[in-house]
Amino acid sequence: MTLTYKRVLLKLSGESLMGPRGFGIDSSRLQHYAAEIQSLVGLGVEVAVVIGGGNIYRGLQAEESGIERVQGDYMGMLATIINGIALQGALEKAGAFVRLISAIEMKEVAEPYIRRRAIRHLEKGRVVIFSGGTGSPYFTTDTTAALRANEIGADILLKGTRVDGIYSADPERDPAATKYDKLSFRNVISEDLNVMDMTAFTLCRENGVPIIVFDINESGNLIKIVQGEELGTLVS
Ligand code: UDP
């Protein structure tokens, strides 16, 4: 079997972990993602995951409650580590070998981020979870995903969402919205489409890392993508 993508970076938002609960971590969602990721490992795909934290805390919320933005951002980054530990546990239960890496040093829980070491883990078939964001405030985990995808030489950045691709308008609000199968980086900008924040998007664009936005909740999508099936929206 031929693999279209051999080394992938999967971005999972914190929100995707909360499921229907509206907050925190939903265990059935967690198990679903773990099983989907493990199925890729079984095919010989090298999988790195960047996990978000929006199910627990976002820096932008901080200012409303009188907390300084930078402090709020650190709270958000710590939230991603909580999610990372949860995902690590679920993946290990699913039979994967996993290394949790944190951009904020926390050696009792996670390895520090050392690029060459992370790549070595991937080569050995371990799932690598990048938590702690970039380690710096004012960024998002989308930007982290773009940064790490570049650093580890990922063939593709897979952005798992609850919709099945990029639409001309928000499909949850506008019934007339149409889905794109393929877009160029230039199209995304000229059509003012919302794929990722600009910092993340620019990093991918300047370095030619393609992005696929797809429905992560549909079982089997990840496997289909790495085998070359055209699913979701490809930005290249
Ligand atoms: N964050 C940050 N720097 C980073 C990544 C994340 O400060 O490099 C903070 C930021 O406050 C953000 C929060 O962590 O709101 C959670 O990340 P994000 O909102 O990207 O999570 P997601 O939307 O993927 O759940």
Distance of CA 187 to the CA centre of its chain: 22
Instruction: Report the pLDDT value the prediction gives residue 37, as an integer from 0 to 100.
Output: 97
CA nearest to 55, candidates 141, 175, 148:
141
Domain assignment of residue 1, yes or no:
no
Which domain does 114 fall in, by range? 7-235
**How far is residue 236's CA from residue 232's CA, in Å, rounded to a whole number?**
13
Cα distances from 31 to residues 2, 21, 75, 127, 132, in angstroms, run: 27, 15, 25, 15, 21
Tally of residues, the chain: 236
**How far is residue 235's CA from residue 204's CA, in Å, rounded to a whole number?**
10
Domain assignment of residue 174, yes or no:
yes
Choice from 50, 55, 74, 80 to test ligand 1 binding pocket (greatest atom count within 8 A of CB): 80
* Ligand 1 center from residue 141 Cα (angstroms): 5
Backbone angles phi, psi at 8, to 5 degrees: -120, 150
* SS3 at position 17: helix
Backbone angles phi, psi at 208, to 5 degrees: 70, 30
Domain assignment of residue 2, yes or no:
no
Instruction: Report the pLDDT value the prediction gives residue 224, as an integer from 0 to 100.
Output: 96
* SS3 at position 127: strand
**Which neighbouring-strand residues pair with 158?**
10, 212
pLDDT tens string, the chain, 236 residues long: the values are: 789 999 999 999 998 999 888 889 999 999 999 999 999 999 999 999 999 999 999 888 888 889 999 999 999 999 999 999 999 999 999 999 999 999 999 999 999 999 999 999 999 999 999 999 999 999 999 999 999 999 999 999 999 998 899 999 888 889 899 999 999 999 988 888 888 989 999 999 999 999 999 999 999 999 999 999 999 999 99
Q: Which atom belonging to ligand 1 lies closest to the Cα atom of 73?
A: 11
Give the angle subtended at the CA of 122 by the CAs of 86 and 214, to the nearest 5°. 65
Domain assignment of residue 86, yes or no:
yes
Number of domains in the chain: 1
Evaluate: CB of 73 within 6 angstroms of ligand 1: yes
Q: Which atom belonging to ligand 1 lies closest to the Cα atom of 59?
A: 11
Evaluate: CB of 141 within 6 angstroms of ligand 1: yes
Evaluate: CB of 58 within 6 angstroms of ligand 1: yes
State the distance between the two ends of the chain, measured CA to CA, in whole angstroms.
24
**How far is residue 50's CA from residue 133's CA, in Å, rounded to a whole number?**
8
* SS3 at position 131: strand
CATH of the domain at 58: 3.40.1160.10
Evaluate: CB of 132 within 6 angstroms of ligand 1: no
